[in-house]
């Protein structure tokens, strides 16, 4: 079954003409296996090599939902990917990552194990901030409840969101991390997400820059 899906992905990626065919064939199987079997995938490589675009094309080939979110503002500022409670306004400040996760959760509640897969692509993560930024996600995935604490307010209706966020099994989070030594994929629950062992949890993206002519900026970078 996965081989058929991988062949479809390879054809879709080849039609995009953004990467050489041999690179696509070499990397596609590992990536498809990761996003179809694991809740968290760390996709690492040099900036501008097309990590975000790769995740988009693969999700489309799989018939899955996909959303790219810039993780840099939240992670560089030491904030949560899923927003925060504003004590002054007595409301919760939502983020794109939170809204997309809730969409995936609603899909899961409606269709259960037959729910469409949702790919949340976190773009622009730097190695130095990836560990603390992704730690709450990993902690949630290491428990049967798979929940992230959002706030401690009693009146959830007034706040605008529930106190906890459930990470549904049809959600796969793909963190695109720039400039980190590569390593083999392992299941996220095999160790704490620290800067020292990020490489053990990662899938190395081919270090191949895209053609500058594909982008208006002319420098070949995707973000």
Structure-token match 């995936």, residue found: 104
**Assigned token pair, 136:** 């709450």
CA distance 52 to 43: 9
**d(C-alpha 14, C-alpha 99), whole Å:** 32
In this prediction, the residues of the chain whose per-residue pLDDT falls under 50 are: 181-191, 195-196, 209-223
Q: Is residue 175 part of a domain?
A: yes
Task: For residue 32, tell me if it sits in a domain.
Answer: yes
Query: Helix-strand-coil percent breakdown of the chain, rounded to 5?
Result: 45, 20, 35
pLDDT digits (tens, 9 = 90+) for 151-192: 988 888 888 899 999 999 999 999 998 865 443 333 444 445
What is the extent of the structural domain holding 141?
2-214
Q: How many CB atoms lie within 10 A of CB 51?
A: 25
Q: What is the pLDDT of residue 179?
A: 67
pTM of the predicted model as reported, rounded to 2 decimal places: 0.82
pLDDT computed for residue 73 by the predictor: 81
Distance between CA 221 and CA 66 in Å, rounded?
20
Q: Is residue 222 part of a domain?
A: no
In a domain, 107, yes or no: yes
What percent of the chain has pLDDT above 70?
82
Indicate whether 221 belongs to any domain: no
Q: What CATH number has the domain bearing residue 172? A: 3.40.50.300
Whole-number pLDDT of residue 199 = 54
Count of domains observed in the chain: 1
Cβ atoms 206, 19 nearer than 8 A? yes
């Amino acid at each position: 079954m996965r081989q058929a899906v991988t062949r479809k992905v390879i054809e879709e990626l080849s039609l995009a003409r953004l990467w050489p065919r041999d690179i696509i064939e070499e990397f596609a199987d590992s990536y498809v296996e990761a996003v179809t079997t694991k809740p968290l995938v760390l996709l690492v490589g040099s900036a501008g090599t097309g990590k975000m675009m790769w995740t988009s094309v693969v999700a489309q080939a799989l018939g899955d939902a996909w959303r790219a979110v810039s993780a840099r503002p939240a992670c560089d500022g030491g904030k949560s990917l899923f927003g925060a409670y504003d004590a002054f306004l007595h409301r919760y400040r939502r983020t794109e990552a939170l809204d997309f996760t809730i969409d995936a959760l609603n899909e899961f509640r409606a269709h259960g194990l037959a729910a469409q897969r949702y790919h949340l692509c976190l773009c622009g993560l730097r190695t130095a901030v990836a560990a603390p930024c992704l730690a709450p996600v990993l902690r949630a995935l290491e428990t049967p409840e798979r929940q992230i604490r959002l706030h401690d307010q009693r009146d959830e209706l007034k706040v605008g969101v529930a106190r906890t966020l459930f990470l549904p099994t049809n959600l796969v989070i793909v963190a695109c991390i720039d400039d980190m030594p590569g390593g083999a994929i392992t299941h996220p629950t095999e160790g704490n997400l620290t800067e020292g062992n990020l490489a053990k949890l990662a899938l190395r993206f081919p270090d191949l820059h895209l053609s500058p002519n594909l982008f208006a900026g002319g420098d070949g970078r995707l973000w």
